[in-house]
Amino acid sequence: MHKGAVVIISVARYILNIFTGLVVLFLSVWMSWPVLTGSEITIYRLLFLVWPAVWIFGFALQLKKSLRITGVIVTLIPFLFYVYLFVTA
pLDDT digits (tens, 9 = 90+) for 15-51: 999 999 999 999 999 988 877 656 666 677 788 889 9
pLDDT, tens digit, 9 for 90 and up, residues 51-78: 999 999 999 999 999 999 999 999 999 9
Please check the confidence at residue 1 and state whether its pLDDT lies above 80. Answer: no
pLDDT, tens digit, 9 for 90 and up, residues 11-22: 999 999 999 999
Task: Tell me which DSSP letter residue 5 carries.
Answer: H
Domain boundaries, the chain: 3-88
How far, in Å, CA of 14 to CA of 33, rounded?
28
Taking the whole predicted model, whether its pTM rises above 0.85 is answered as no
